[in-house]
Amino acid sequence: MKTIKIFDTTLRDGEQSPGASMNIEEKVKIALQLERLGVDIIEAGFAAASPGDFEAISKIAKRVTKSRVCSLARAVDNDIIQAAEAIKEAKYQRIHTFIATSPIHMENKLKMSEDEVVERAVKAVKLARSYCEDVEFSCEDAGRSEIPFLKRIMDAVIEAGATTINLPDTVGYRMPHEIAAMIKELSEHAGERAIISVHNHNDLGLAVANSLAAVENGAMQVECTINGLGERAGNAALEEIVMTLKTRADIYGEYETNINTKEIYPSSRLVSSITGIVPQPNKAIVGKNAFAHESGIHQDGVLKCQETYEIMSAADIGMEKNSIVLGKHSGKHAFKDKLQKLGYELSESELLDAFEKFKVLADSKKEVFDDDIRALLNSQVNFEPVYELESMQLSDCSSAMATAAVALRKEGETIRAAQIGNGTIDAVFKTIDEAAGYKGTLKDYQVQAVSQGKDALAKVVVQVIFDDDKPAVIGRGLDLDTMKASAEAYVNALNSYLSMKDSLKQQLRLGEEDKI
């Protein structure tokens, strides 16, 4: 069997999805879930990008012990030094450095000759190797690079110490047969000297097909993300690659991965609840409808024999269908047991906090599903909130004179405010701004039912900018009442902003000569 290494870049390329920024504790939570999932390498971030990224990578490096922890670094000294420093406490480490190799990037972006690019790449790899034995080098925009130049730079960086060569289709331009030909030629050229990796973007919807074509032709590492998150149209989706290799063992029987597929669904839910980016309902493998059968003929077929309309089972990816879990009489032990089955490991105080929330929920909701429990757990905040929503009253909800009165709690004091808004949501958010003394701009608002039934929990995700110089923060709220969930989400966004405003601020400034 050939073991294909799964390199997950949800925390780096995935975080480059517009609106997907995560705070440090959220990144640690995702990294620990990726480790449970069994990914070989976790690209935890881009250490030199910001102090927040650096701190997240360092924390992940300290906590993750099974997967290799990697930081991205441009081919500049400062980036590599920061990457090395950030991963230094990881049990297994990798530095991933890159420079563009396509004519269009070298001429227009880098304004560097081929010789200069090779020289810069070699210098970067040598410096990275002085810190770390495992060094990946990426030829950015390899998909549009010339094969002879790729061979030249590959030879030079392998000689300098690179152990993995990644060939990204950075702009998602290539077709499967083109990727197949490129990988075949370059993996034969590398031979035993380095592992060949692929990193495909999904601009034409071909990222997964291209990754599989690469595997068939010698790539031994695939870079991908949970739910296919990533720049623009995203990256190849981890769950689709892994489940294709498994489900089509008749074709891919000689390949295996270290992924525990039962952790796919929990990973997908965790990432979507943290980023607020929910996979489309018909998304392969992890979409809400991926295992739902609507037509009577299909339902009848599946009841008689599951394989009539299902090529894999929901249980294989850890999606238990419609499982009612606990009720209001369930005790702490049963709750803890359920959490363990769902893959959550909580400290005693986190468990108590979650149990209290569960009791409140079970009191007002007849049936509590696995997804309700996940939503409850995934919405737990991991910072001390400055503001708490104490109470809220609404009137004239449907008019342009909708009125909200809100009481917020801060350091034991109650602050009250009332505002008129253009609709209820506007009134509620304006009132929270007034009470807290901030002015947020709402960039996105999403509401979703967590499970089924009229009494389903409403999950609201907002993206808010509290300071024009800083990116939007995400806030989440969960309640049976949609308006209350909305207010909770907005307060959560404000607390999140206050907890990370210093690390949100700066992009590290690099010297002029480092601007590549």
Interface residues toward ligand KIV, by CB under 6 A:
13, 98, 138, 140, 166, 168, 170, 199, 201
**DSSP labels for 393-459?**
EEESTTSTTEEEEEEEEETTEEEEEEEEESSHHHHHHHHHHHHHT---EEEEEEEEESSSSTTPPEE
Q: How far is the CB of 266 from ligand KIV (least distance, A)?
A: 26
- Least distance in angstroms from the C-beta of 355 to Zn ion: 41
Query: Closer CB to ligand KIV, residue 132 or residue 375?
Result: 132
CB 321 within 8 A of CB 291: yes
**Interacting residues of 90 by C-beta distance below 8 A, sequence separation 6+:** 60, 61, 62, 64, 68, 69
What ranges make up the beta strands (E) of 263-346?
324-326
Instruction: Report in angstroms how near the CB of residue 277 gets to ligand KIV at its nearest.
Output: 18
Q: Are 88 and 61 in contact (CB under 8 A)?
A: yes
The site partner of 140 among Zn ion, ligand KIV, none (C-beta below 5 to 8 Å per kind) is ligand KIV
Choice between 231 and 371, CB closer to Zn ion: 231
Given ligand KIV, Zn ion, none, residue 344, with its beta carbon under 5 to 8 Å by kind, binds none
How buried is residue 301: exposed, middle or buried, by Cβ count under 10 Å (0-12/13-18/19+)? Answer: middle
Residue 458 · residue 480 · CB < 8 Å: yes
Q: Rounded to the nearest whole angstrom, what is the least distance from the CB of residue 98 to ligand KIV in the complex?
A: 5
Q: Rounded to the nearest whole angstrom, what is the least distance from the CB of residue 13 to Zn ion in the complex?
A: 4
For the bound state, the minimum distance from the C-beta of residue 501 to Zn ion, rounded and expressed in Å, comes to: 28
Q: Decide which of Zn ion, ligand KIV, none touches 21; Cβ closer than 5 to 8 Å per partner kind.
A: none
CA count, 13 A, side-chain hemisphere, 388 = 11
Q: CB of residue 340 vs ligand KIV: minimum separation in angstroms?
A: 36
C-beta of 94 vs 201, nearer to ligand KIV: 201
Q: Select the binding partner of residue 338 from ligand KIV, Zn ion, none (C-beta < 5 to 8 A, by kind).
A: none
For residue 392, give every residue at least 6 positions away whose Cβ sits within 8 Å of its Cβ, in sequence order, or none.
404, 405, 406, 407, 428, 483, 484, 487
Binding site for Zn ion (CB under 5 A): 13
- 491: part of which helix (H) or strand (E)? helix 482-505
Nearer to ligand KIV, 142 or 498 (CB): 142
138 binds, among ligand KIV, Zn ion, none (CB under 5 to 8 A by kind): ligand KIV
State which residue, 183 or 500, has the beta carbon closest to ligand KIV. Answer: 183
Is the Cβ of residue 74 or residue 283 nearer to ligand KIV in the bound state? 74
202 binds, among ligand KIV, Zn ion, none (CB under 5 to 8 A by kind): none
Q: 3-state DSSP helix/strand/coil percent for the chain, to nearest 5?
A: 45, 20, 30
